[in-house]
Amino acid sequence: MYSEKVMEHFANPRNVGEIEDANAVGQVGNAKCGDIMKMYMKIENNVIEDVKFKTFGCGAAIATSSMATEMVKGKTVDEALQLTNKAVMEALDGLPKEKIHCSVLAEEAIQSAINDYRVRRGEEPLDIKEHAHEH
Ligand code: FES
């Protein structure tokens, strides 16, 4: 049912935890299942120097968040905003259809954290709903 990569990231998730001096923190809930994801970032000169997550979510949410944090670490804020749940799923060699909604949590949590960063800097928050993801 799950790819080897999904199982591996679920068993050994990367970047789990909190960043105490984070300057970008986002939290989102999954409308489908009620699960929650919190994302912490340390952004410097528009580059995501560090990122960690915590979730009250299922294995697919953990695996996709682990992969998503790996994919945005070291990237610019703009690059991170381009990351879609589809790209994360592809990097994990796919998810079962009924678990696709779980991958949306990481994408939205990254966008939510970046919005927090923008607001802290006095910039306009982005409309997260504008970013299309596959359900
Ligand atoms: Fe809720 Fe997967 S079942 S995130």
The Cα 77–Cα 44 span in angstroms is 10
CATH of range 4-120; options 1.10.472.50, 3.10.290.10, 3.90.1150.10, 3.90.1010.10: 3.90.1010.10
Please provide the DSSP assignment of 9-72 as one string.
HHHS-SSBS--TT-SEEEEEE-TTT--EEEEEEEEETTEEEEEEEEEES-HHHHHHHHHHHHHH
Q: What is the pLDDT of residues 87-110, one digit of tens each?
A: 999 999 999 999 999 999 999 999
From the alpha carbon of 34, which atom of ligand 1 is closest? 1
Q: How confident is the model at residue 132 (pLDDT cuts 50, 70, 90)?
A: low
- Secondary element (H or E) of residue 123: none
Span from the CA of 70 to the centroid of ligand 1 (angstroms): 20
Q: 27 and 108 in contact (C-beta within 8 Å)? A: no
Active site residue 102: yes
From the alpha carbon of 37, which atom of ligand 1 is closest? 4
Half-sphere exposure of 59 (CA within 13 A, CB side): 16
Backbone CA torsion sign across 108, 112, 117, 121: positive
Domain positions in the chain: 4-120
Quote the mean pLDDT of the chain: 94
With a cut of 80, say whether residue 133 has pLDDT above it.
no
Give the per-residue pLDDT at 31.
87
Q: How confident is the model at residue 126 (pLDDT cuts 50, 70, 90)?
A: confident
What's the order of all strands across the beta sheet hosting 36-44?
Answer: 24-29, 36-44, 47-56
Q: What is the pLDDT of residues 29-52, one digit of tens each?
A: 998 899 999 999 999 999 999 999
